[in-house]
């Protein structure tokens, strides 16, 4: 396949010192490489950098309306990628997906209601609800092949008991990397419909399907007959590395739900900043070639991790179709806390406990291969240190 952005673009090691990077400054002054929070150590695509510079040529950054061309650009992108024909009216712009989750809890669940989430899951799913609401944790199940998916039997049993008005999905799934099949999404949506539950689908990782064999079906596409009960949250922030720029969107086909959502945002959530709009428009309209190369690079990084750990009995790298976050079972190390253990060898991972799964770690491999290699070498040294004891 011809790549108009060369793969070695992503080999460039950029220092993020003196940028107040959350990821790197956690270990400032220590010899610990960060592979935790989900942002990438890659420069933004050139068209995005250019769009930001161009917007800065105007010296005012005031309150800003959605650029005229942006809804059409999102519509075209979704049609092209997912065969999803949206009405631009359905779009609600938000400065982040996490605040989009909490607005969902305010809009679609009443005080006293229960909200179902499926751990292990991105930690904000545990705390996006109102204090008058309850989060019910219904764990994913992990097959013998180490693929994680919903436990629909447990879900139905829970829904039968009543009290659940909202399901918060993460699809593709962080931290397990699962891309759910069309059949899985359809079955889940049938249950949601049978028990009159609204489904909010966080699809922030949807454009990061790195396994060439996998296909992502947005919830609203997999089960279009239940469109009216879905709210989809998307963003270019993960795919194009714009997390600090605060631009995301909700897609809400049902007009009543859309109004409820806008009300929930009112007075609590700030508007999207002009630079964020500029970057997002450039990403969705001109970021295609960069993204195509990125997906290849990330898949090669993931395959490299799998290969490095293939003969290491203490570590099991779970299969992954999307995201740049490897989900690793480190229970066989028999250490008290694998995250703390690897940190002491200079590798800063995310603790599985944060997502509801102690004994696991999550490794963010969106970095140049050389950085990844150094991290993997340190992890090997850590594992070997246990063997020689
Ligand atoms: C599933 C999921 N949702 C939301 C976010 C964060 O979204 P935002 O930065 O737009 O609030 C992340 C970041 O890692 C994520 O993995």
Domain boundary among 227, 251, 286: 286
Phi-psi region of 141 (alpha: psi -120 to 50; beta: other; left: phi over 0): beta
Q: Which of 255, 286, 317 is the last residue in one of the domains?
A: 286
Cα-to-chain-centroid distance, residue 213: 19
Q: How far apart are CA 324 and CA 177, in angstroms?
A: 8
Give the domain extent around 331: 7-45+288-387
CA of 51 to the centre of ligand 1 (A): 23
Q: Per-10-residue mean pLDDT for the chain, 389 residues long?
A: 80 96 97 98 98 98 96 98 98 98 98 98 97 98 97 98 98 98 98 98 98 98 96 98 97 98 96 98 98 98 98 97 98 98 98 98 98 98 90
Of the three residues 261, 286, 311, the one that is the final residue of a domain is 286
Would you mind telling me the total number of residues written for the chain in this entry?
Answer: 389
What's the confidence (pLDDT) of residue 389?
Answer: 65
The number of folded domains in the chain is 2
**CATH of residue 302:** 3.90.1150.10
| CA 338 centroid distance within chain | 23
Closest-CA residue to 328 (of 67, 140, 148, 165): 148
- Same domain? 323 vs 249: no
In this prediction, residue 1 carries a pLDDT of: 41
97 lines ligand 1 (CB under 6 A): yes
- 235 with 259, same domain: the answer is yes
Question: Does 38 sit in the ligand 1 pocket, CB within 6 Å?
Answer: yes
In a domain, 1, yes or no: no
170 lines ligand 1 (CB under 6 A): yes
With tokens 């590395």, the residue in question is 241
Instruction: Measure 97 CA to ligand 1 centroid, in angstroms.
Output: 6
Q: Cα separation of 152 and 140, whole Å?
A: 9
- Supply the pLDDT for residue 388: 73
Residues 289/3, Cβ–Cβ less than 8 Å: yes
Is residue 352 within 8 A of residue 358, CB to CB? The reply is yes
Q: 186 and 63, same structural domain? A: yes
Q: Which residue has the tokens 């040294």?
A: 381
- Give me ligand 1 centre to Cα 362, in Å: 15
Confidence (pLDDT) at 329: 98
**33 touches ligand 1 (CB under 6 Å):** no
Cβ neighbours of residue 47 under 8 Å, at least 6 residues apart? 282, 283, 285, 286, 287, 290
Domain match, 240 and 343 both: no
Return d(Cα 293, Cα 183) in angstroms, integer.
29
Same domain, 169 and 250: yes
Asked if residue 37 has its Cβ within 6 Å of ligand 1, the reply is no
Q: Does the beta carbon of 103 lie inside 6 Å of ligand 1?
A: no
Residues 163/114, Cβ–Cβ less than 8 Å: yes
368 is a domain residue: yes
Nearest in space to 242 (alpha carbons), one of 16, 12, 48: 48
Quote the radius of gyration of the chain (alpha carbons, Å).
Answer: 21
């Amino acid at each position: 396949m011809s790549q108009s952005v060369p793969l070695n673009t992503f080999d460039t090691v950029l220092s993020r010192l003196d940028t107040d990077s959350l990821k790197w400054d956690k270990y400032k002054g220590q010899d610990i490489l960060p592979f935790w929070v989900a942002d990438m150590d890659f420069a933004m695509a050139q068209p995005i950098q250019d769009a930001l510079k161009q917007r800065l040529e105007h010296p005012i950054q005031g309150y800003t309306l959605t650029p005229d061309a942006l809804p059409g650009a999102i519509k075209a992108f979704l049609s092209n990628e997912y065969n999803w024909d949206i009405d631009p009216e359905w779009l609600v712009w938000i400065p982040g997906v996490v605040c989009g989750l909490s607005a969902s809890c305010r809009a679609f669940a009443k005080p006293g209601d229960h909200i179902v989430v499926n751990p292990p899951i991105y930690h904000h799913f545990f705390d996006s609800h109102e204090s008058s609401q309850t989060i019910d944790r219904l764990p994913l199940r992990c097959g013998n092949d180490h693929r994680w998916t919903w436990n629909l039997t447990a879900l139905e049993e829970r829904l039968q008991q009543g009290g659940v008005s909202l399901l918060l999905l993460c699809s593709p799934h962080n931290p397990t990397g699962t891309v759910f099949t069309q059949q899985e999404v359809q079955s889940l949506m049938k249950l949601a419909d049978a028990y009159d539950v609204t489904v909010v689908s966080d699809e922030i990782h949807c454009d990061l399907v790195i396994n060439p064999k996998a296909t992502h079906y947005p919830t609203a596409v997999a089960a279009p007959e239940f469109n009216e009960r879905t709210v989809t949250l998307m963003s270019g922030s993960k795919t194009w590395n714009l997390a600090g720029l605060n631009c995301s969107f909700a897609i809400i086909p049902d007009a009543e739900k859309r109004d409820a959502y806008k009300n929930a945002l009112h007075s609590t959530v700030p508007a999207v900043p002009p630079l964020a709009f500029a970057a997002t428009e450039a990403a969705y309209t001109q970021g295609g070639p960069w993204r195509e190369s990125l997906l290849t690079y990330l898949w090669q990084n993931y395959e490299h991790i799998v290969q490095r750990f293939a003969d290491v009995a203490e570590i099991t790298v779970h299969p992954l179709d999307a995201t740049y976050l490897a989900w690793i079972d480190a229970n066989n190390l028999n250490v008290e806390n694998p995250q703390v253990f690897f940190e002491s060898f200079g590798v800063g991972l995310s603790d599985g406990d944060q997502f509801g799964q102690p004994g696991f770690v999550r490794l963010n491999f969106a970095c140049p291969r050389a950085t990844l290699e150094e991290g993997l070498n340190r992890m090997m040294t850590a594992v070997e240190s246990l063997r020689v004891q």
